[in-house]
């Protein structure tokens, strides 16, 4: 049996690849940009608002509203110009204003949530696919455990994430024979700045607020996932180390999903 110190680090062999990451301004997207750049990848990071943190990564940035067709077109045109081609695509952008209570959500909310969480990925993938096919590229879509446990989120959001997960499987089947791998990652609770506002409104510090949520959701590891942990999984799935993984949905949630 080999000792731990005898094991060599895994070489993801991503140096000199090109990547587009959406929703890159903060959270999982920002962590992904940083991780990929550290792996030697040239990255275009897209966000509606270009944050100082995203600028500091050294990625080429594109400000675009990816819930619209025009925003997606602007992103992919800029990415192809900057990178010369796209090897890797991370469809991370998502979220939006969603309301608990089915009768409280109108058509405009459903349309908005699907535009941001589903159609953004549809349009971005469609635009990037010619280059991805040519380069035998890889796509990772960021869904959510709410696709598996819809009671934990507004109906519009969980339905959109379920659609995104299904989209990944369909794309993997259709474009796998043409050399493109497509996988999905479904995070559970991820510790990001999104909790800072609610924590302040509740009169709690961030650590107390987050731990209260963790307890209420019965997370096995007793903590939220860190954005960097999701980014590491993304990098693995983008790499040749995962060359025979496609059409899969990886849950990273600290044991929050209790079903098989």
User: Catalytic residue numbers?
Assistant: 157
The Cα 36–Cα 234 span in angstroms is 9
Please tell me the predicted confidence (pLDDT) of residue 138.
98
The Cα 229–Cα 252 span in angstroms is 9
- The single-letter DSSP state of residue 224 is P
Return the domain boundaries, the chain.
4-192+225-252
At 7, is the pLDDT very low, low, confident or very high (cuts 50, 70, 90)?
low
- As assigned by CATH, the class of the 4-192+225-252 domain is alpha beta
At 1, is the pLDDT very low, low, confident or very high (cuts 50, 70, 90)?
very low
Taking the model in full, what pTM does it have?
Answer: 0.94
Per-residue pLDDT tens digits for 45-104? 999 999 999 999 999 999 999 999 999 999 999 999 999 999 999 999 999 899 999 999
């Amino acid at each position: 049996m080999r000792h731990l110190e005898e094991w060599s680090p895994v070489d993801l062999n991503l140096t000199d690849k090109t990547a587009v990451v959406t929703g890159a301004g903060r959270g999982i997207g920002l962590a992904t940009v940083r991780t990929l750049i550290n792996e030697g990848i040239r990255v275009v990071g897209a966000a509606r608002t270009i944050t100082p943190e995203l600028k500091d990564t050294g990625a080429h940035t594109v400000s675009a509203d990816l819930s619209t067709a025009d925003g997606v077109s602007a992103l992919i045109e800029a990415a192809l110009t900057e990178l010369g081609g796209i090897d890797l695509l991370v469809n991370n952008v998502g979220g939006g204003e969603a309301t608990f209570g089915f009768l409280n959500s109108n058509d405009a909310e459903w349309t908005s949530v699907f535009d941001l969480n589903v159609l953004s990925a549809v349009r971005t993938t469609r635009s990037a696919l010619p280059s991805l096919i040519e380069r035998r590229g890889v796509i990772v879509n960021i869904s959510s455990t709410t696709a598996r446990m819809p009671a934990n989120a507004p109906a519009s959001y969980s339905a959109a994430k379920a659609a995104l997960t299904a989209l990944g499987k369909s794309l993997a089947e259709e474009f796998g024979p043409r050399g493109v791998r497509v996988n999905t990652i479904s995070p559970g609770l991820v510790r990001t700045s999104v909790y800072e506002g609610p924590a302040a409104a509740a009169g709690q510090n961030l650590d107390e607020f987050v731990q209260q949520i963790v307890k209420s959701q019965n997370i096995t590891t007793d903590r939220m996932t860190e954005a960097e942990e999701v980014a590491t999984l993304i990098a693995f799935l983008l790499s040749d180390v995962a060359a025979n993984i496609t059409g899969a949905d990886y849950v990273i949630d600290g044991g929050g999903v209790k079903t098989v």
